[in-house]
């Protein structure tokens, strides 16, 4: 009886130790590659800096790539998978098609990282997360420690990309709800929308706003109409804020002036619950930077694969 109790107790202890180590495996860490490949992060930074130096917009594109990865079944590099007979690529989903970019840079990073590491140890999902941070820094934005140890998926979902990515036509309640389903709150929504301090948008994503909406500065609307006609020119691009190659506070300043480009941008400053935060960020770029960094770490944790889950892809465009 006593020995049986002891046996049960020790079995319980062994199980709890196993459970603890299993659950600690699920935690990401900024030091994940420090032992196995200390050269990995500097290599990512080199390639990203070169790409952003060559074309500043690439920084914006790489930031958006991480966002569109994380919001569709978590940050698992599913967005990088090319279409095959078994993979319904997220690249062909409406929010991504003819819009999402940066895949060649990720390929280049992967090649370089595998070369300096001598083997394929860094996941594509981690590469995308680090590339987003390095892009923001290269364009003058805040820095943060990227949590690492994500694994890559073996599947993708075009349907999920269509249903889970927010649309530029959403109003504030819809945006809040969309972020809430990802475990992100109103502060995350406002801070992360500040990603629109860099990059460009196509005419069809803001045509309704500049021709139909009334919560818009008329002079700004006229400026945008000059390169976004009522019909035609769907893919003509405009900057999302006045300084699309600088990660600064100008995006929020624009919102306060009713110069948000997308309906979903102006929705954050339109008499609703997020007005105060937009106002605060518009006069305090440092506060925005700090909150953006914090929310990026949070976004980078959405539904990650860790430990034995998933794989480290050899080629970011296809499962092993
Ligand atoms: C809040 C909901 C959001 C909506 C509705 C939205 C929508 C859009 C749309 C429609 C575009 C233009 C795409 C095109 O015309 O091809 C765009 C661009 C962009 N978005 Fe968002 N977005 C949102 C949140 C975010 C977040 C959270 C980030 C990053 C943290 C982000 C980063 C970017 C960047 C950097 C660009 C420019 C990309 C480039 O120039 O290649 N967006 N977004
Ligand atoms: C540099 O950017 C241009 C677009 O501005 C692109 O066509 C070209 O491929 C880029 N070159 C490199 C080496 O990335
Ligand atoms: C303006 O709104 C009307 C009514 O909703 C719609 O039919 C029309 O297509 C809109 N115009 C633009 C340029 O989006």
Q: Write out the residue limits of the CATH 1.10.520.10 domain(s) in the chain.
A: 26-165+300-309
57 pLDDT higher than 50: yes
Is residue 68 flagged as an active site residue? yes
> Residues with Cβ within 6 A of ligand 3?
207-208, 211-212, 230
What pLDDT shows up at residue 221?
98
Nearest-atom index, ligand 3, CA of 211: 13
Going from the Cα of 208 to the center of ligand 3, the distance in angstroms, rounded, reads 6
pLDDT band at residue 16, thresholds of 50, 70 and 90?
very low
Which residues have a Cβ under 8 Å from the Cβ of 300 and sit 6 or more positions away? 28, 66, 70, 75, 129, 146, 147
Atom 2 of ligand 3: nearest residue by CA position: 212
300 marked ligand binding residue: no
* Residues 81 and 103 sit within 8 Å (Cβ to Cβ): no
Q: Write out the residue limits of the CATH 1.10.420.10 domain(s) in the chain.
A: 172-298
13 pLDDT higher than 60: no
Interior angle at CA 170, CA 101 and CA 257, nearest 5: 90
Going from the Cα of 77 to the center of ligand 2, the distance in angstroms, rounded, reads 23
Total residues found in the chain within this entry: 320
11 pLDDT higher than 70: no
What pLDDT shows up at residue 23?
42
Atom 11 of ligand 2: nearest residue by CA position: 54
Measured from the Cβ of residue 257, the count of other Cβ atoms closer than 10 Å reads: 14
Does 51 sit in the ligand 2 pocket, CB within 6 Å? yes
Which of the listed CATH numbers 3.40.50.300, 3.30.300.160, 1.10.420.10, 1.20.1050.10 matches domain 172-298? 1.10.420.10
The strand pairing partners of 238, in sequence order, are: 201
Nearest-atom index, ligand 1, CA of 237: 15
Question: 26-165+300-309 is classed in which CATH architecture?
Answer: Orthogonal Bundle (1.10)
Catalytic residue chosen out of the listed positions 68, 110, 151, 224: 68
Which tokens in the block code for residue 195? 């990603």
Interior angle at CA 131, CA 282 and CA 268, nearest 5: 25
Average pLDDT for the chain: 93
142 marked ligand binding residue: no
Which tokens in the block code for residue 215? 């919560």
Report the sign of the C-alpha dihedral through residues 165, 171, 176, 177, in that order: negative
Going from the Cα of 315 to the center of ligand 1, the distance in angstroms, rounded, reads 26
9 pLDDT higher than 70: no
Which residues have a Cβ under 8 Å from the Cβ of 166 and sit 6 or more positions away? 71, 174, 175, 178, 179, 264
- How much is the average pLDDT of 241-263? 98
3-state secondary structure of 276: helix
Residue 296 burial (C-beta neighbours within 10 Å; 0-12, 13-18, 19+): buried
Does 95 sit in the ligand 1 pocket, CB within 6 Å? no
253 marked ligand binding residue: no
What pLDDT shows up at residue 27?
82
- As a 3-state breakdown, the chain gives helix, strand, coil percent values, each rounded to 5, of 55, 5, 40
134 marked ligand binding residue: no
3-state secondary structure of 306: coil
74 marked ligand binding residue: yes
Which tokens in the block code for residue 272? 């609703």
Nearest-atom index, ligand 1, CA of 58: 41
4 pLDDT higher than 90: no
The ligand whose atoms approach the alpha carbon of 245 most closely is 1
Range in 16-20, 50-54, 206-210, 242-246 with the lowest mean pLDDT: 16-20
Task: Report the relative pairing of strands 200-202 and 237-239 from DSSP bridges.
Answer: antiparallel
pLDDT in tens, 61-70: 999 999 999 9
55 pLDDT higher than 70: yes
Which residues have a Cβ under 8 Å from the Cβ of 14 and sit 6 or more positions away? none
Nearest-atom index, ligand 2, CA of 57: 5
pTM for this model (two decimals):
0.94
pLDDT in tens, 213-239: 999 999 999 999 999 999 999 999 999
Atom 3 of ligand 2: nearest residue by CA position: 55
What pLDDT shows up at residue 6?
41
The ligand whose atoms approach the alpha carbon of 230 most closely is 3
pLDDT in tens, 122-143: 999 999 999 999 999 999 999 9
89 pLDDT higher than 50: yes
Atom 14 of ligand 2: nearest residue by CA position: 51
What pLDDT shows up at residue 26?
66
């Amino acid at each position: 009886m006593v020995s049986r109790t002891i046996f049960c107790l020790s079995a319980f202890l062994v199980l709890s130790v196993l459970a603890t180590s299993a659950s600690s495996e699920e935690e990401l860490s900024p030091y994940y590659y420090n032992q196995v490949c200390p050269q990995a992060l500097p290599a990512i930074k080199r390639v990203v800096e070169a790409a952003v130096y060559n074309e500043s917009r690439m920084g914006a594109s790489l930031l958006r790539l991480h966002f569109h990865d994380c919001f569709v079944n978590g940050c698992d590099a599913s967005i990088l998978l090319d279409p095959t007979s078994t993979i319904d690529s997220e690249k062909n989903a409406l929010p991504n098609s003819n819009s999402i970019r940066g895949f060649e840079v990720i390929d280049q990073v992967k090649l370089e990282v595998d070369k300096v590491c001598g083997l394929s140890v860094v996941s594509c999902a981690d590469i995308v997360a680090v590339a987003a941070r390095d892009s923001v820094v290269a364009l003058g934005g805040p820095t943060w420690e990227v949590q690492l140890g994500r694994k890559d998926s073996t599947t993708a979902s075009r349907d999920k990309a269509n249903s889970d990515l927010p649309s530029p036509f959403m109003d504030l309640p819809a945006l809040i709800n969309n972020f809430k389903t990802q475990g992100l709150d109103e502060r995350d929504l406002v801070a992360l929308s500040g990603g629109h301090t860099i990059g460009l948008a196509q005419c069809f994503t803001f045509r309704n706003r500049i021709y139909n909406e009334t919560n818009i500065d008329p002079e700004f609307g006229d400026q945008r109409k000059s390169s976004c006609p009522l019909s035609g020119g769907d893919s003509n691009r405009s900057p999302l804020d006045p300084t699309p190659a600088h990660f600064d506070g100008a995006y929020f300043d624009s919102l306060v002036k009713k110069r948000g480009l997308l309906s979903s941008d102006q929705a954050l400053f339109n008499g609703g619950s997020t007005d105060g935060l937009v106002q605060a960020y518009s006069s305090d770029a440092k506060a925005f930077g700090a909150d953006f960094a914090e929310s990026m770490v949070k976004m980078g944790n959405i539904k990650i694969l860790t430990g034995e889950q998933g794989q480290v892809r050899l080629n970011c465009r296809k499962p092993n």
